[in-house]
């Protein structure tokens, strides 16, 4: 069972990340972890692909947690849940809500 935290202090955490603790330990994937960390130094957008259940989301969340723990980005590390959206025009709003820019007007 992992007790890993994704930041230093709970009050700082809420304004730095919305990542929550996972209930199970992250296993293996050392090569993939290193590769994703490396690729994120070169690109602003990285897509993980693979068959359902192969661990894409878990790997992404693990990397995100590590980046949050290391305070790698000044503005934090945020998970935007898009799976429930069925209208692509709602994506900017979902991002804005997660980043707490509710009043921001974004048009596609
Ligand atoms: N490296 C890992 N360590 C521990 N559990 C894992 C790991 N990779 C995947 N899992 C678990 O396997 C299941 C499927 O992984 P998930 O990341 O949701 O797959 P995908 O996003 O590719 O469909 C989830 O319950 C996830 O927590
Ligand atoms: Mg997934």
Let me know if 68 is exposed, middle or buried by CB neighbors in 10 A (0-12, 13-18, 19+).
buried
Residues 26 and 63 grouped into a single domain:
yes
Could you tell me the residue range of the domain that residue 93 belongs to?
Answer: 79-108
56 and 42 within one domain: yes
pLDDT at residue number 78: 95
The closest ligand to the CA of 59 turns out to be: 1
Q: Is residue 2 part of a domain?
A: no
The reported pLDDT for the residue numbered 108 is 57
Predicted pLDDT of residue 1: 37
Distance CA 84, CA 30 (A): 30
Look up the pTM and report it. Answer: 0.83
Please tell me if the CB atom of residue 88 comes closer than 6 angstroms to any atom of ligand 1: no
More confident: 50 or 75: 50
Task: Answer yes or no: is the C-beta of 45 below 6 A from any ligand 1 atom.
Answer: no
61-103 tens-digit pLDDT? 999 999 999 999 998 999 999 999 999 999 999 999 998 876 6
**Ligand 1 within 6 A of 78 CB?**
no
Percent of the chain with pLDDT over 90: 68
Q: Is residue 3 part of a domain?
A: no
Q: Which of 1, 22, 58 for a ligand 1 pocket mutation test, highest count of atoms within 8 Å of Cβ?
A: 58
- Same domain? For 83 and 72 the reply is no
Same domain, 18 and 70: yes
Asked if residue 20 belongs to a domain, the reply is yes
Query: Per the domain annotation, does 58 fall within a domain?
Result: yes
Q: CA torsion sign, 39 to 43 to 44 to 45? A: negative
């Amino acid at each position: 069972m992992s007790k890993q935290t994704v930041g230093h202090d709970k009050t700082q955490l809420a304004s730095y990340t919305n990542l929550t603790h996972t209930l199970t330990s992250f296993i293996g994937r050392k090569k993939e972890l290193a590769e994703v960390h490396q690729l994120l130094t070169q690109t602003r957008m990285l897509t993980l692909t693979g068959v359902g259940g192969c661990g894409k989301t878990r790997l992404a969340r693990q990397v995100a947690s590590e980046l949050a723990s290391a305070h790698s980005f000044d503005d934090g590390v945020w998970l935007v849940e898009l799976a429930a959206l069925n209208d692509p025009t709602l994506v900017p709003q979902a991002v804005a809500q997660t980043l707490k820019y509710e009043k921001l007007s974004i048009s596609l």
